[in-house]
Amino acid sequence: MPRPRTIGRGTLVATVFLIALGGYTRGSGSGYGCEDLWPMCENGLLGGLLPRLDFHMIIEWAHRWVAALVGVLIIVTTISAWRSRPRNLRAVIPALSAVGAIVVEAWLGRMVVKGGLAADLVSLHLTVSVAIVALLALVMVADESPGVRSSQDAAWTWWIGIGAAGAYAVLLLGSLVHNLYVPGWPLVGDRVVPDLGNSHVALHWSHRLVAAIGLAYLVVLAIMNARRKRPRSEQLMVVVSLVAYALNVGLGAAHVFTKVTSGGLVAAHLLLSTVVCAALIVAAARSGGYANGSIGTDA
């Protein structure tokens, strides 16, 4: 069986794609394409096992079956981690956690459909999805060759970890506002401080404020990253996160200018948000020595 890192990398990519597909499913209005039947499709072919030639049903059907495929890949990743010699608990534990999380995710997917696509359930669904990405990133890093770590790495790991947590917060705030159109960009309603008595406006304002702070933080992190002359793999992940984040700011503007009507923009926006989180988690794990027993070693 291939090494956990190899399978984990493929599973991680598939999971990120699934999140983007979920964004498109929601943004295109296909989230109720199979109506309230789950996991089959209402009035579909072969008793709902296959979709009819209906756009929204096909998209929702594809989303469900890609999710099932990702679930299988996560189980295979866990088996590979368990069978590795010697068994690497740094890969096994997050892999087993991902299996548990995918079960919760499937249940939440059912609740989203049965609950008529309630916004809070959709956001919770996304929360667990990105947590699975984080766990798979740990599986991938855990099977890498350990590097020598100095006592200064702990503080640097915290810097990157804070960036990852901030990117996660921006993503989740965005999930709450993605279909609530408020004119004006970068200012909400063309005002520095809009009417925060309106919950929709307050959410948009909070999302953009946190997003702006996050962009500034990543710029500072990238500068610090270059000055510290970190390992190339860490530097690359920080640069990837900054570039993806900056591009996503542009997509956020396009999202507003198109009045939140493009499913493709929703998918791309969510895809880049997930890439930012994943890149920072990988960078933090590598910086902290999360690889083959290297945690806690000093130079």
* CA 260 to chain CA mean position, Å: 20
Per-residue model confidence as pLDDT tens digits over 180-213: 788 888 888 888 888 888 888 888 899 999 999 9
What is the C-alpha separation between 21 and 60, in angstroms, rounded? 9
pLDDT at 293 over 50: no
Mean pLDDT of all residues belonging to the chain? 85
Q: Minimum mean pLDDT among 37-46, 210-219, 242-251: which range?
A: 37-46
Where in the chain are the domains? 1-143, 148-299
Region 265-274: mean pLDDT is 91
283 pLDDT higher than 70 = yes
- State phi, psi for 191 to the nearest 5 degrees: -130, 140
| CA distance linking residue 108 with residue 114, whole number of Å | 10
* pLDDT band, very low/low/confident/very high, at 142 (cuts 50, 70, 90): confident
Euclidean distance between the first and final Cα of the chain, in Å? 34
Contacts of 165 (CB under 8 A, 6+ apart): none
Beta carbons of 167 and 211 less than 8 angstroms apart: no
